């Protein structure tokens, strides 16, 4: 574990925008180095405020601190209130984030609201029906026993660190890019499909220097779909279907194949926005068909 922490720390120092802070913060939390874990989580949230996993990590660290006499002095109530806010924000960004749903259930049980606790666990079970820990937690609560504090979702779980040059790991059920986008113009470049929590489902992006920026862009896009929906509603525009933008170096188009997925298409500045929208529509249809089959 100590070697993992050193290597993860080195990776984060090399690229402060990297999502490796999720693994580093979790490793520090598990080792009981809660003040260090808290600093990592707070710095990560400053860079990725719309990343649900970052709010989930912060909440789990706060919950752990409330039980630790070695952590800096904070009252249980204050920690739990802050943890609730963080898990609530994670669910607002990614409504199907099971880690945050479990966390809220845990806190509702702590304050004696068993109905809300079980409702949040039931919501988590609808997302992950094959997760036995959810049924176990429900059974424990019905017996009056506190469920275990939630563990991180797969995207933030601690694993052996990858070399900095390695390609980012895909989420479970990752999209087979060649199969899904086969026949689409530029299928192997400038496409990024993410879920509501900002996890990469398929595609990859590089900046003009050739540096992989897939994870960084995915983190910033997390929650964009919900914000676009709120804005369209406030303006009385109805449901949004796409968003195009011109930049000095290129053009982009955003679409959502499903309510919980977001597709980004990036092309050179010379491609007209109308043509880009048509290309994005084709990619959206392909992605939607694949997602519905999963």
Count CB atoms within 10 A of the CB of residue 82. Answer: 17
Q: Residues 198-225: what's their mean pLDDT?
A: 76
Q: How confident is the model at residue 264 (pLDDT cuts 50, 70, 90)?
A: confident
Q: Residues 172-183: what's their mean pLDDT?
A: 45
CA distance 238 to 281: 19
The CA R_g of the chain, rounded to the nearest whole Å, is 20
CA distance 48 to 43: 9
Q: pTM of the predicted model, to two decimals?
A: 0.56
Position 181 scores a pLDDT of 58
Burial (0-12, 13-18, 19+ Cβ within 10 Å), 115: exposed
Position 1 scores a pLDDT of 55
Q: Residues 181-206: what's their mean pLDDT?
A: 71
Q: How confident is the model at residue 186 (pLDDT cuts 50, 70, 90)?
A: low
Position 60 scores a pLDDT of 92
Task: Give residue-wise pLDDT tens across range 15-48.
Answer: 888 888 998 999 999 888 988 999 999 999 888 8
Do 194 and 186 contact (CB within 8 A), yes or no?
A: no
Least confident of 155-159, 226-230, 266-270: 155-159
Residue 271 or 185, more confident: 271
Q: In sequence order, which residues have a C-beta less than 8 Å from that of residue 62 and are 6 or more positions away?
A: 38, 79, 80, 82, 83, 86
Alpha carbon distances (Å) from 157 to 232, 238, 256: 35, 38, 27
pLDDT at 218 over 60: yes
Q: Residues 186-192: what's their mean pLDDT?
A: 69
């Amino acid at each position: 574990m100590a070697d993992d922490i050193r290597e993860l720390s080195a990776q984060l120092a090399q690229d402060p925008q990297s999502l490796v802070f999720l693994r580093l913060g979790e490793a520090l939390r598990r080792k009981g180095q809660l003040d260090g874990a808290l600093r990592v989580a707070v710095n990560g949230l400053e860079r990725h405020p719309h990343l649900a996993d970052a709010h989930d990590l912060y909440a789990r660290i706060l919950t752990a601190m409330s039980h630790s006499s070695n952590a800096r002095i904070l009252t249980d109530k204050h920690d739990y209130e802050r943890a609730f806010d963080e898990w609530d924000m994670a669910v607002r960004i990614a409504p199907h984030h099971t880690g945050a749903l479990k966390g809220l259930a845990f806190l509702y049980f702590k304050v004696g609201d068993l109905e809300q606790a079980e409702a949040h666990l039931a919501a988590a079970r609808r997302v992950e029906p094959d997760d036995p820990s959810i049924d176990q937690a429900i059974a424990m609560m019905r017996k009056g026993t506190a469920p275990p504090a939630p563990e991180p979702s797969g995207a933030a779980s601690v694993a052996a660190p990858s070399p900095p040059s390695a390609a980012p790991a895909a989420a479970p059920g990752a999209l087979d890019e060649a199969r899904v986008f086969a026949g689409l113009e530029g299928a192997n470049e400038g496409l990024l499909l993410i879920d509501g929590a900002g996890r990469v489902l398929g595609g990859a992006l590089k900046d003009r220097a050739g540096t992989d920026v897939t994870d960084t862009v995915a983190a910033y896009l997390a929650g964009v779909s919900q914000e676009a929906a709120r804005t369209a509603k406030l303006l009385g525009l109805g449901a949004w279907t796409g968003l195009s933008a011109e930049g000095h170096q290129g053009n982009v188009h955003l679409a959502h194949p499903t309510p919980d997925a977001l597709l980004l298409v990036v092309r050179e500045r010379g491609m007209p926005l109308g043509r880009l929208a048509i290309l994005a529509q084709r990619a959206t249809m392909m992605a939607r068909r694949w997602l519905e089959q999963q």
